[in-house]
Amino acid sequence: MSKRAIFWFRRDLRLADNPALLAAIDEADEVIPLFILDDEISERAGAHRRAYLAASLKSLNESLNGNLFVISGNPVEVIKDLMSRYKADSVHSAFPFAPYGEARDAELKASGIELQQLGSGYAIAPGRVRKGDDTPYRVYTPFYRAWLAHGWRAPVAAPKNPNWVAPKKSDQQLPDWNSPEGIQLQEAGEKAALARFKNFLKKAADDYGDARNIPGIEGTSRLSPHLRWGEIHPRTILAALGNSAGHEIYRKEIAWREFYADVLHHNPHTSRDYYDAKFKKMRYDKPGKQFTAWCEGKTGFPFVDAAMRQLVQEGWMHNRARMVVASFLVKDLHIEWQHGANFFMKYLIDNDVASNSHGWQWTAGCGTDASPYYRVFNPIEQGRRFDPDGVYIKKYIPELSHLTGDDIHEPWDSDSGYKNGYVKRIVDHAAERLESLARLEEIKVTKEPKP
């Protein structure tokens, strides 16, 4: 009698460099390739992320010659039912290294299902890079040095001629989630990821150090969605990088992703809560009309508004712009970072809980290796510096397409700045910066009560 194993695809929607998949193939005569549509996650994700996932699953199914099992429901119930109906002997997966995924693993184990787990979505699994005293790193730069010194293994090839179990029609519930009307998401899937990386290496990697900060050009790799869904593994990327300045800076960006995963691993509460607890005491404003204006890209600050409109239109936002809009929400509008992180989570096709939550906390000044709270991004100067000709702004704000030079960054100083209906500024940046710093002083002088 042939031996069957279930391989549970999660955040590793690829065949290449997938050690857990290879382990399942090595152990069994036939493998059931499974993806579970977790109802709780599906309901929480926005239309952009659902559409990207649907496209990625379609691509994965094609790679598996049409044999991908896609079943909606609770993982415990789905796997138990599948093991019973298809006489599977074992269940394999990679380690998730995220609070929600780890909670699901605990539920499976409590139900009596033994998960055989190998590998993760990181070059080095969270928790492995540690200081000499065996404690985790709290600051990025020393983490990066230790991460490099630790090293990682080379990527492995995709399996050759594996025996997949063919799903029954009822076990192939591929979702038909389409992109919202008028929204153009980047192509999903392992094939698209590898093609995008190859193009990045050829055209943009060498200039990455400077070009990555200019949102009006294709200066970044835009591999973040592919990394988030595991359509490409960071080891595949790292193996191809050289020692040029651009490649080195890109390697550091991969390390930032791994650093934040490590921080979340050691501090799971920081997915929604403060890393630096004293910032809980800060006086914040409740989300209202100004928060709505921020969400809709109608703050009256062109660089901020262009970024927010890019997010809604593409399910992605340039990293430089992410820092600027985050600073604007927390320090100009005085709204807690979690509200912004939740909005990002709804739209971003590359939403990663570790990178999203800790990226927000870095800008908000309450995270690890934090940009000090008193460093407030000036949305006007950021636009001047990184989008001097307004290429990025004009792409997403047609109301300002007639302006040039400084006028596009400060339309309020132009006689024709508002002729096409662009919105007026909702705050005075200089005044709100001072207000933000005053609120910081309030928590700095607050004394802890005596025990």
For the stretch 354-385, pLDDT in tens is 999 999 999 999 998 766 788 899 999 999 99
Q: What's the pLDDT at 43?
A: 73
Identify the pLDDT of residue 450.
45
Q: Where in the chain is the domain with CATH 1.10.579.10?
A: 277-443
Element housing 70 (H / E): strand 69-72
Quote the pLDDT of residue 370: 61
Cα–Cα distance between 207 and 249 in angstroms, integer?
A: 10
Q: In this structure, are residues 387 and 304 in contact, taking their beta carbons and an 8 Å threshold?
A: no
Cα-flanking dihedrals φ and ψ of residue 36, to 5°? -105, 125
Q: Look-up: residue for tokens 């460099």?
A: 17
* CA–CA distances in Å: residue 48 to residues 305, 323, 358, 367: 19, 21, 22, 28
Q: Does domain 277-443 have CATH number 1.10.579.10?
A: yes
- Looking at this protein, which amino acid is placed at residue 199? N
Question: For residues 350 and 241, what is the distance between their CA atoms, to the nearest angstrom?
Answer: 22
Nearest to 287, CA basis, from 362, 345, 342: 342
CATH 3.40.50.620 maps onto the chain at 4-120
Using CA atoms, how far residue 142 sits from 3, 220, 339, in Å, is: 47, 25, 31
Kindly report, residue by residue over 249-279, the tens digit of the pLDDT.
Answer: 999 999 999 999 999 999 999 999 999 999 9
Fold of 4-120: Rossmann fold (3.40.50)
pLDDT in tens, 27-67: 999 999 999 998 777 777 889 999 999 999 999 999 999 99
CATH 3.30.450.40 fits 121-156+190-266, yes or no: no
What pLDDT, on a 0 to 100 scale, did the predictor assign at position 259?
98
pLDDT for the residue numbered 40: 75
pLDDT value at residue 38 = 87
Report, as ranges of residue numbers, the positions in the chain whose pLDDT lies below 50: 447-451
Starting at the earlier edge strand, list the strands of the sheet with 69-72: 69-72, 30-37, 4-9, 90-93, 115-117
pLDDT at 372: 78
Strand, helix or coil for residue 227: helix
User: What pLDDT is stored for residue 140 in this prediction?
Assistant: 95
The pLDDT of residue 138 is: 94
